[in-house]
């Protein structure tokens, strides 16, 4: 496992220390690894969302021209269930 040294303001170091004292992290390294994993997951989720949005844009216009058409389709679909 590689080692990395980082510099933090005293205020941030103190905050990290409070996160590791008796909480779910045994030490600052575990806490930092968790932060990095979360950021990796967040960036992956953002990239996936961007791809899905682009796929939607690339697919062209939707099948409903306006909100009234959406409401009419919903009524056709859900009113028979009553």
**Dist CA 62 CA 49 (whole Å):** 19
* Residue 70 pLDDT grade (very low, low, confident, very high; cuts 50, 70, 90): confident
pTM above 0.75, yes or no: no
* Residue 82 pLDDT grade (very low, low, confident, very high; cuts 50, 70, 90): low
Tens of pLDDT along 33-54?
Answer: 999 999 999 999 999 999 999 9
Q: At what angle do helices 28-58 and 10-20 cross, to 10 degrees?
A: 100
The answer to whether residues 51 and 44 touch, using CB atoms and an 8 Å cutoff, is no
The answer to whether residues 6 and 16 touch, using CB atoms and an 8 Å cutoff, is no
| Nearest residue to 34 (alpha-carbon basis) of 16, 18, 12 | 16
């Amino acid at each position: 496992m590689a080692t990395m040294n980082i510099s933090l303001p005293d205020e941030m170091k103190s905050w990290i220390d409070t996160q590791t004292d008796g909480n779910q992290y045994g030490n600052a390294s575990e806490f930092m690894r968790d932060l990095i994993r979360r950021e990796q997951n967040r960036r992956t989720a953002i990239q996936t969302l961007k791809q899905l949005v682009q796929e939607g844009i690339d697919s062209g216009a939707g099948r409903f021209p306006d909100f009234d058409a959406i409401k009419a389709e919903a009524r056709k679909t859900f009113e028979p269930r009553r």
